């Protein structure tokens, strides 16, 4: 049985949208979003993150980072 991944709409997450400067697609795989947050963390303004985006990042960290973000 195949599992279906729900894509994230970058327009719902302000900081994610900003760090996807070199991506044209509107929807992104959760694993890719987590990777971008990790790699481009220095460009993320946490004060601009909504509660919804923070909760999303927490869920991504739990699932893909096993509770940890390895930021560069």
Task: Give the pLDDT confidence of 23-68 residue by residue, as tens digits.
Answer: 999 999 999 999 999 999 999 999 999 999 999 999 999 999 999 9
With 80 as the cut, is the pLDDT of residue 72 above it?
no
- The DSSP bridge partners found for residue 42 are none
The DSSP string of 7-70 is: PEEGGG-HHHHHHTTT---SEE-HHHHHHHHHHTGGG--GGG--HHHHHHHHHHHHHHSTT---
Q: Do 17 and 23 touch, CB atoms closer than 8 A? A: no
Residues, the chain: 72
Residue 5 — very low, low, confident or very high, per pLDDT cuts 50/70/90? confident
C-alpha to C-alpha distance for 69 and 45, rounded to whole angstroms: 16
- Position 3 scores a pLDDT of 55
With 80 as the cut, is the pLDDT of residue 7 above it?
yes
């Amino acid at each position: 049985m195949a599992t279906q991944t729900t894509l994230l709409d970058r327009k719902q997450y302000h900081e994610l949208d900003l760090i996807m400067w070199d991506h044209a697609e509107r929807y992104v795989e959760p694993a890719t979003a987590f990777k971008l947050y990790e790699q481009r963390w220095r460009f993320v303004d946490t004060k601009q993150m909504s509660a919804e985006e923070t909760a999303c990042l927490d869920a991504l960290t739990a699932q893909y980072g096993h509770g940890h973000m390895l930021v560069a």
